[in-house]
Every structure is written in C-alpha cells, then in structure tokens.
Amino acid sequence: MEDFAPGYRFYPTEEELVSFYLHYKLQGQRLEMHQIIPVLCIYDIEPWHLPKFSGKLCQGDTEQWFFFVPRQEREARGGRPTRTTSLGYWKATGSPGYVYSSDNKVIGVKKTMVFYTGKAPAGRKTKWKMNEYRAIEVQASDQLVGNIHTLRGEFTLCRVYIVSGSSRAFDRRPLEPPPAMAAIEDTQKAGPSSEPTQGQETPPTITGLQQQQPIWDWEEMISLMEAATR
C-alpha cells in the first residue's frame, strides 16, 4: 500500500476473523475495526465494485477484502437472505464447514460462494468468490449432556476475493512453532524444576468464543498505521 511501510498487509487467520473481529462486532465493541472491516450490505453491489468500499486502512489491497454484513430484514423475519445484485447473484458452492480455534473448539461456520452474472440458474460463473463467516454461541443444554451450537445472525463477516488460478491458503499458519514457543515447549518438557528464560510468556488458552487478542497487538498495529499516514 502506498501510504504504509513496505510489507504491511492485513492477512488474518480464520480463527482471528471469527474469535476476534466478528466476536467484538457482535458485542458492539472496538468500533475502530471499521477502518479495516467496514459495515456494508455487499449484496446490493457488484463484486468488482466492492474493493473501493473496503476499509480505510486496506484501500490498497489487491487480493482480498473484508466486510461486516448486517442481517437482512427478511432474514430477521425468518426468511432466506437475498444474494442477488442487479447484474448477477451469489451461489453457494460445496458444503458449509466449521471454523476451529487453536484448541480445536468449534467457533464458527464458513460458507463459500461464487458470483454468477445473469439470472439463475443460467448465469455465467465468474472468478469472484466469497467466504461468509458466522459466529457460534455455545450454550449448555437443559439436560447438561452436551452443547447446543447457536449461530449468531446479527452480522456476518465476509471475505471477498478473486480466483487467481494458483493454489493459495488464506488461513496461513506456521508448520513449526516460532522460536519463543519452541523454547517454552522445551522448558515444559524438561520438568517442573526448569524455568522459562526471561521475556517468555505462556500463550493464553482459547476456549470457544473467549475474548482474545490476535497474534499481533491491536493497539500497536493501529498506532503504527496511523503514524504512517501522517
């Protein structure tokens, strides 16, 4: 991006999208997130126009764009959402999948859609795709024999992107633990008598939709980006 330091990029994992960004949006907190993920009724706009409506701090991104999408009135009344624009429509592809936390707890549901121009069912498939994320609210059942997964519908978080023809994985995670984490694990394996070296911290445990921070510090990232625009 022209206004930011070389190398800056907003590239969150799916876990961060659901357990941090979507979680805080559903709680009505951290409105500064709209600088990166704005609120927009994307189904009223053709996908190729969406990049210009992306967050202020992500205007230069050319690979993916994020939006909080409010629930439609007909959906709130129990109907099905309308995903039709003036020139085409979004069609679901494949089966919905779960989004998991680092400790393998189900925290959300992901649905993938493809945009077609024309009218259904004879539309022409385009290279525009979207991942729609919904958060799961876990509630204990009355019988206390398990958990009931309830989808939160006030907002969804949508990732819009263009199929490039090359393999890609949005949810990039290191195959090996970072050096600091590896050092902690080695210390734990050594037994209770060993202590971690100075400066190391034990990572927090993630449970369900527990409030958490991403792998980077949010306030620090915002301050750095605002300083770069001055």
Question: DSSP letters of 11-64?
Answer: ---HHHIIIIIIHHHHTT--GGGGGTS-B--GGGS-GGGGGGGS-GGGTT-SSE
More confident residue, 201 or 53: 53
Q: What is the pLDDT of residues 143-152, one digit of tens each?
A: 444 555 678 8
What mean pLDDT is predicted for residues 29-33? 87
What mean pLDDT is predicted for residues 78-88? 88
Residue 187 lies in a domain: yes
Tell me, what's the pLDDT at 20? Answer: 92
Lowest mean pLDDT among 1-5, 100-104, 202-206: 202-206
| Alpha-carbon 45 to chain mean position | 20
Residue 43 lies in a domain: yes
What mean pLDDT is predicted for residues 56-83? 84
What mean pLDDT is predicted for residues 131-158? 74
Residue 65 lies in a domain: yes
Lowest mean pLDDT among 3-7, 14-18, 153-157: 3-7
Q: What is the pLDDT of residues 173-230, one digit of tens each?
A: 444 444 433 443 444 444 444 444 444 443 333 333 334 444 444 445 445 545 554 5
What CATH number does the domain containing 39 carry? Answer: 2.170.150.80
Tell me, what's the pLDDT at 169? Answer: 58
More confident residue, 161 or 153: 161
Residue 178 lies in a domain: yes
Band (pLDDT 50/70/90 cuts) for residue 110 is very high
Element (H, E) at 160: strand 155-162
Residue 7 lies in a domain: no
pLDDT above 90 covers what percent of the chain?
37
For the whole model, what pTM was predicted? 0.68
More confident residue, 51 or 80: 51
Residue 116 lies in a domain: yes
Number of domains in the chain: 1
Query: Sign of dihedral through CA atoms 139, 142, 148, 150?
Result: negative
Domain limits for position 195: 14-228
Band (pLDDT 50/70/90 cuts) for residue 160 is very high
Residue 4 lies in a domain: no
SS3 of the chain: helix, strand, coil, percent, to 5: 25, 30, 45
Residue 133 lies in a domain: yes
Tell me, what's the pLDDT at 62? Answer: 80
Locate tokens 């009135």: which residue? Answer: 73
Tell me, what's the pLDDT at 104? Answer: 87
Q: What is the pLDDT of residues 7-30, one digit of tens each?
A: 556 888 999 999 999 999 998 888
